[in-house]
Amino acid sequence: MKKTFTILSLILGIYTVQAQPEINSLVVVKPGTTIKAYAKEDATVTPGNAGANQVWDFSGVTFNPADSETSTALDPSKTPYASSFPTATLAETSDNINYAYYKMSATEQVLLGNYGVNDEGEGMALAYTDPLTIIKTPLTYGGTQTDDYFVSVDMGLGFTMDMSGSITNVYDGYGTLKTVNGTYNNVVRLKSTKVDVTSFFGIETTINSVTYAYYIPGYTNSLFAISEIKVTAMDEEETTNVVYLYDPSFLTSNKNAYLQDLKLSVSPNPANNFVTVDFKDLTSGNYTLKITEQNGASVMENNMYVMQGDVQTIDIAELKSGMYFLEVASENGKTVKKIVKQ
């Protein structure tokens, strides 16, 4: 069966209480949602420390664009194997061949089973008689949750294949995450230990995996993950280390609440006709510059590509005297400065 690190492996909705996020509700992924993941095998990347107010810096870990996979969430009734999973509320596939089926609610996410195709092209529906609860709420910092699953499949001629396993999630840290895609505050880390055992014809295969995944509150997918996967069969063991980077395009407009403040200088302030924005401490890239009134109404907005070290001049001569807010944002973060028009 194909093993993938799916976009629904842990579905999190998190409410922040002061500096310590709590997992109080789950966000149900909508059909049609896609997530692109980049994977790097045999990479030596340490997950960093557990604990409060950590800084996990993976900004130096780069990926080959060719090593990517896109997963899509689906309405299970629209999939070819819906009849095997009648209580499923969500399905997922990355190749339209292998599917995972879930029952989702605001309080828990349950894996009901999957349909997979082996290397010989043989397909099989595995509907768990004991489904696997991947996560449920509430889960607070330091909390642990464990559940297991089981299914027995009739293979014909009097043979059965038994599959069983368990997952243990530990909310072991929160803090700041840095990747090549940006720097994010209020990130939650879950350490997930998963065991999968397949027994067939007297031969047992065990897959032990330990995954550290880093999540932004309220979103359905991690931004970064590190997995160690050990496969044991017939007294032989093989270990693979895989690092995953997820395209942050699934983040919505309020993502800036979790992005690190950009270091930016604006002068003069107060100003009469012009203010200058100094980008010497920022990286080159696309930026949005917006000026709003105190009531939130936008009076000026401009999208531009800026080189590091540039100085941008903004004409505010036509604005009425008073206080405004200048917001400068990119995919890496944002900052808001008060400016006074004399």
CATH number of the CATH domain containing 299: 2.60.40.1930
The answer to whether residue 140 is domain-embedded is yes
Residues 31, 99 contacting (CB under 8 angstroms): no
Interior/surface letters 67-82, b for 16+ CB within 10 angstroms, e for the rest:
eebebbbbebeebebb
193 and 304 assigned to the same domain: no
249 and 265 assigned to the same domain: no
The answer to whether residue 173 is domain-embedded is yes
Which pLDDT score, from 0 to 100, does residue 131 have?
A: 98
Which pLDDT score, from 0 to 100, does residue 255 have?
A: 46
Q: Which of the listed residues 205, 234, 253 is the one where a domain comes to its end? A: 253
Cα–Cα distances in Å, from 110 out to 1, 174, 185, 210, 219? 19, 25, 28, 19, 17
Q: Which of the listed residues 210, 230, 253 is the one where a domain comes to its end? A: 253
User: 311-334: per-residue pLDDT in tens?
Assistant: 888 899 989 998 888 888 776 666
User: 116-130: per-residue pLDDT in tens?
Assistant: 887 777 888 999 999
Which pLDDT score, from 0 to 100, does residue 303 have?
A: 84
192 and 293 assigned to the same domain: no
271 and 224 assigned to the same domain: no
Which pLDDT score, from 0 to 100, does residue 262 have?
A: 59
300 and 154 assigned to the same domain: no
Q: Which of the listed residues 203, 233, 253 is the one where a domain comes to its end? A: 253
Q: What's the pTM?
A: 0.70
The answer to whether residue 5 is domain-embedded is no
The answer to whether residue 7 is domain-embedded is no
User: 178-227: per-residue pLDDT in tens?
Assistant: 888 878 888 899 999 999 999 988 889 999 999 999 987 666 688 999 99
CA–CA distance, 177 with 38 (Å, rounded to integer): 17
CA–CA distance, 166 with 150 (Å, rounded to integer): 9
Average pLDDT over residues 268-275: 90
Which pLDDT score, from 0 to 100, does residue 263 have?
A: 66
156 and 279 assigned to the same domain: no
Tally of domains in the chain: 2
| pLDDT > 80? residue 160 | yes
238 and 266 assigned to the same domain: no
Q: Which structural domain, as residue segments, surrounds residue 56?
A: 13-253
Which pLDDT score, from 0 to 100, does residue 333 have?
A: 66
Average pLDDT over residues 105-112: 90
281 and 141 assigned to the same domain: no
194 and 283 assigned to the same domain: no
The answer to whether residue 2 is domain-embedded is no
130 and 190 assigned to the same domain: yes
Which pLDDT score, from 0 to 100, does residue 252 have?
A: 54
Q: Please enumerate in sequence order all residues whose Cβ is within 8 A of that of 173, keeping only pairs 6 or more positions apart, or say none.
A: 49, 50, 51, 52, 54, 141, 188, 189
Question: How confident is the prediction for the chain on average, in pLDDT?
Answer: 84
User: 5-43: per-residue pLDDT in tens?
Assistant: 343 433 333 333 324 777 777 777 889 988 899 999 988
Which pLDDT score, from 0 to 100, does residue 1 have?
A: 35
The answer to whether residue 6 is domain-embedded is no
322 and 218 assigned to the same domain: no
The answer to whether residue 43 is domain-embedded is yes
220 and 286 assigned to the same domain: no
Report residue 169 as tokens.
């999630």
Which pLDDT score, from 0 to 100, does residue 332 have?
A: 62
The answer to whether residue 84 is domain-embedded is yes
